[in-house]
Chain A
Amino acid sequence: MKRWLKPADPVLMLAAAAFAGFSWLALLSATSGGWSPSGMAVRQAGYILLGLVVMHLVSCLDYRRVRYAAWPIYVLVLLLLVAVMLPGVGQAAKGAQRWISLGPLGTLQPSEPAKLAVVLLLAHYLASRLKHHRTFRVKWLAGCLAIAGVPFLLVAAQPDLGTGIVIMALAFVMLFQAGASPIHLGGIVFAGLGILPLVLKEYQRHRLLVFLNPSIDPQGTGYNIMQSQTAIGSGGIWGTGLFYGPMSQRGFVPENHTDFLLTVVGEEAGLVGTLALLALFLLLCFALVRITVKAIDLLGVLLGVGVTSLMGLQALINIGMVVGALPVVGLPLPLASFGGSAMVTNFAALGLAASISRVSREPDFAREVCELD
């Protein structure tokens, strides 16, 4: 019973809570412009609290038992992704079909849990095979690519290229960790990039071109790139002060409560703020890596790497896009951007990592669970 009261990994959980809290201030500024929170800021605060609870609850489970749920969760997520496409079930916004209505509870974005479902299933798939063969077999590549590929195609068709890319990239990182040949992985990536222009939608190709040369479309996608860099750059070292960013406060940066939340930090808290946020995130990643290294079994290692890359890849792609180093693909900043599905999913992923930590540092807990097994 004591276990339910004790935090599984205090460093990880505190870093995550601090990062989410810091980001919530930026969201408050973007949506409310002052200390009295708007409806969105209140909802986001609720998502964060819910996320923290979910993280703790998941951390109390034993990840070695969660593996048995890997396939059912994966299939459920695939069904939800298919349901999104059905007229009458899925909801569209901003040109994409991504949401399922949950009635009074709001909406669910199945592509968010899909990422975690893929991490879980790949870890389970690879760990159970490696246990017997001790070395990576090339034929597993096909299975892994199929596990990641199906949700990738469903997500990319919504269309949501950002999440699709994250799902594929996750799979490659985990395959690498599981011992796949870098040459094979590189070859597959190369071939994938080759067919990418054929499967990209017209607007996605346009975004890619605009990224390469933002001045060709100063009012459209290029506008986002220019405006976000302008907002961040004009923040300087110390920033304009919370609630005092002229661009953030007057709607000059579109989507600055979701994908472009970092621009608010950049403008109002300056370089000090963005580096502090980056440092917090890095701390979170280090905590995840430490958990991975100390994991007592292969499943723990692969799950740890999966969760770390889930967090790291999303942050990398999001921040890279916001600072103009990567094309605009549309991806939220984990634990920061507005949105309940993403918030709860990411906290659940961290909870899974915390569970690995708990198992490795509480031998009693491990024995107890093993007895159950």
Chain B
Amino acid sequence: MTHLDFRWRARLAVLLAALIAVFFGLGLRLAWLQWLQHSHWVEEAKKNTVVLEALPAPRGRMFDRAGRLVVSSRPTFDLYVIPRELKDPKEAAALLGSAAQIEAYKLAAKIDKGLTEAPVEELVLERSLNPKQLSRLAPVVDDLRGAYLGVRAERRYPHGKTAAHLVGTMGAISPEELRKLRDKGYSMRDMIGKTGLDQKYDLELHGRKGLRKLLVDAAGRALFQEEIRPPEPGHDLYLTLDLALQKHAERALGETLAQLHQINGRPSAGAAIVLGADTGKVLAMASLPQFDPAPFARGIRSKEYQALLEDPAHPLVSRAFQSSFSPGSTFKMITGMAALQENLTTPRSHFYCGGAYKGANCFVRSGHGGINFHNSLALSCDVVYYRLGDLLGIGRLSEYCRAIGLGSPTGLGLVGEDPGLVPTADWKEEYFGEPWYNGDTINSSIGQGFVLTSPLQMAVATATVANGGKVVQPYLVEKATTWKGSTVWKADPKPVRKLPVDPKFLSEIRVGMRGAVAHGTSVAADSPLAKVAGKTGTVESFPSPSNPDGKNHTWFVCFAPYEDPEIAIAVCLERSGGYGGSMAAPIARKILDYYFSIRKKS
């Protein structure tokens, strides 16, 4: 071995040194990973194997004042994916599509959109799976990383369409809503209240999601689970509604509307509201036509939604608080109280009606002749109110309107409330670029022309007259309780303001309204069970784009019992034709009869 010309042992030593250096380096690297960076990799490994899963909380229920179930929830399954986790989105869409019997390209498009917009957010592909879809999807989802079946509480409406506008609708949470609500425990998979009580009290009804720790394998299969925090069901709401009365009001209104459909050859709409006269609690608020909220709860399809929007009867719009109409002669309550308060007339004044005032006709063309203040309300003499309105002027009249709650939302708190309109000279100047004419004042004083009120606002006005001047704030929820039943909060009804009208003048208005039911325009509302006082309204209309056949809106507002008012009612029929006394008053009568017959029994 000595015959070589180069130092082979030295070369071997170099190789050995390199070998030792390399293994020393690998050892250092292992120590770095396993010793110094250990905690970092433990965190990484947890991300890999531990999944925190939110457990949906049952949504709070709604009960009526007697504890009858109005709205509840049931569990349902959604199919959702987390787009980033899908290994092959195209293949996933094909697999899920064939199992759920949905076109794969639709799912693929959704996933593509999700990948670009919110790749780590839960993306719902199909809501409220039917049993067949569920059984076919379960094994597919089990083997598909990134696809999940999730339980969700779906709203259940045991009474169908009853009080649909009040209960409201559910819908998928939008990205903007999620941005605001993420801290409150909402996720992309949630449905949230979009209208009605479900919208107003969503935070309370929503509850608090539970949290579950899952140990999963690389395919996403759960191997072990542990509940960290149980879900906390949302609060239950006890409504002021009387479900029986609500249904009765809807039935009474519905019967009349069905007749009108026959007469007018088109669907008709209307509202009937029953308020607690002293508190403003809503005992019933019927609005027809209404809609079925169930499709919204399972995620309404755009075709179904489009059909509802295009329905000429506009079933999604509540006629009780989301629409406003000219109040017609029901407005005379307000003109009358303003004139008394402003000393422009006295309860004992006498007037003469010759059938016209400054070119405006009384609806009794021949005139009422000599007439006192009480009878001017009972018989609804236009000439008296033309005169009183003329004396008041639009400035003072509009102030009284605002004082009694017209022209602004009542505070019911549901989305889309129509504030109505209280016209002033400035408003007309701005809106039409025309000066306010005296004729406008005369028109307004009998609730025609520019004034617009929602039936709810007229119900509040009637309650204010009945209770001696407290402008009430209508409310729908008496109390909220936890799911176990302990009270979280109670409604504390306080009047919004005191009407600046002497209570003695309001009692004179009540005398006139009692006269209307006893012997005047509203005898149709006279009930044997209670003394009723009311006021009719008939809005003379002319054919216009929004009202092609020029049918009258008809109104009736009332309260009862006369001596100690308990409830105030407003009924309004949209484009019904006929008169308030013949169309609207009989509906109020049916509601009154029902209310007082039940009350007598209990």
Contact = CB atoms under 8 A, between A and B. Distances in A.
Contact of A296 (B1, B20, B31): B1
Contacts of B38: 233-234, 236-237
Interface string B28-65: 01110111011011101100110000000000000000
Contact of B11 (A177, A252, A281): A177
A298 interface: yes
Contact of A320 (B11, B26, B42, B44): B26
Interface string B1-42: 101111011011011100110110111011101110110111
Nearest to A133: B5
B5 to A, nearest CB: 4
Interface in B219-264: 219, 223
Contacts of B182: none
B34 A271 contact: yes
A285 B19 contact: yes
Contacts of A308: 15, 19
A219 interface: yes
A237 B31 CA distance: 8
B41 A233 contact: yes
B134 interface: no
B307 interface: no
B30 A179 contact: no
A31 to B, nearest CB: 15
Contacts of B33: 229, 232-233, 266, 323-324
Give the secondary structure class of A's interface.
helix
A130 interface: yes
Contact of B217 (A219, A231, A250, A270): A250
A101 interface: no
Interface in A257-293: 266, 270-271, 274-275, 278, 281-282, 285, 289, 292-293
Nearest to B46: A234
A289 B45 contact: no
Interface string A294-337: 00111001000100110010001001100111000000000000
B317 interface: no
A234 B8 contact: no
B87 interface: yes
A122 interface: no
A293 B37 CA distance: 40
Among A229, A230, A232: residue with most chain B CB under 10 A: A230
Contact of B26 (A130, A236, A298, A323): A323
Nearest to B45: A234
> In the complex, which range does the number of interface residues on chain A fall in?
35 or more
B6 A233 contact: no
A68 to B, nearest CB: 22
A236 B43 CA distance: 12
B69 interface: no
Interface size range on B against A = 35 or more
B31 to A, nearest CB: 6
Nearest to A237: B35
A173 interface: yes
Contact of B30 (A266, A296, A297): A266
B4 A179 contact: yes
Interface in A222-238: 226-227, 229-237
A135 B41 contact: no
Contacts of B87: 219
A166 B130 CA distance: 58
A281 B26 CA distance: 12
Contacts of A186: none
A79 to B, nearest CB: 32
Contacts of A289: 12, 16, 19
B215 interface: yes
Given A246-B49, A323-B30, A229 B41 contact: yes
Contacts of B44: 226, 230, 233-234
A235 B42 CA distance: 8
Contacts of B1: 296-298, 301
A352 interface: no
Query: In the complex, which of the residues A179, A237, A250, A320 has the most CB atoms of chain B within 10 Å of its own CB atom?
Result: A250
B224 to A, nearest CB: 10
B41 A230 contact: yes
A52 interface: no
B34 A293 contact: no
A296 B2 CA distance: 11
A292 B12 CA distance: 9
A17 interface: no
A177 B217 contact: no
A271 B31 contact: yes
A246 B215 contact: yes
A14 B44 CA distance: 38
A57 B37 CA distance: 46
Contacts of B215: 246
A316 B26 contact: yes
B34 A236 contact: yes
Interface string B521-537: 00000000000000000
Contacts of A270: 34
Contact of A251 (B3, B22, B30, B218): B218
A177 B8 contact: yes
A160 to B, nearest CB: 22
A139 interface: no
A271 B38 CA distance: 10
A312 B18 CA distance: 10
B4 A278 contact: no
A247 interface: yes
B370 to A, nearest CB: 94
A198 B501 CA distance: 97
Contacts of A275: 27, 30-31
Nearest to B26: A319
A29 to B, nearest CB: 15
A232 B34 contact: yes
A316 B22 contact: yes
Contact of A179 (B6, B29, B217): B6
A293 B9 contact: yes
A4 interface: no
A312 B19 contact: yes
A323 B29 contact: yes
B45 A135 contact: no
A134 interface: yes
B14 to A, nearest CB: 8
Contact of A278 (B23, B41, B218): B23
A136 interface: yes
Given A275-B27, A289-B19, A325-B29, 12 more contacts: A134-B5, A136-B6, A230-B45, A230-B48, A234-B38, A234-B41, A247-B45, A250-B223, A266-B33, A297-B1, A308-B19, A324-B33
Interface of B: 1, 3-6, 8-9, 11-12, 14-16, 19-20, 22-23, 25-27, 29-31, 33-35, 37-38, 40-42, 44-45, 48-49, 87, 215-219, 223
11 contacts: A173-B15, A179-B8, A230-B48, A233-B37, A236-B35, A236-B38, A247-B49, A251-B217, A252-B48, A297-B1, A316-B26
Closest 3 CB pairs of A and B: A233-B41, A250-B217, A234-B45
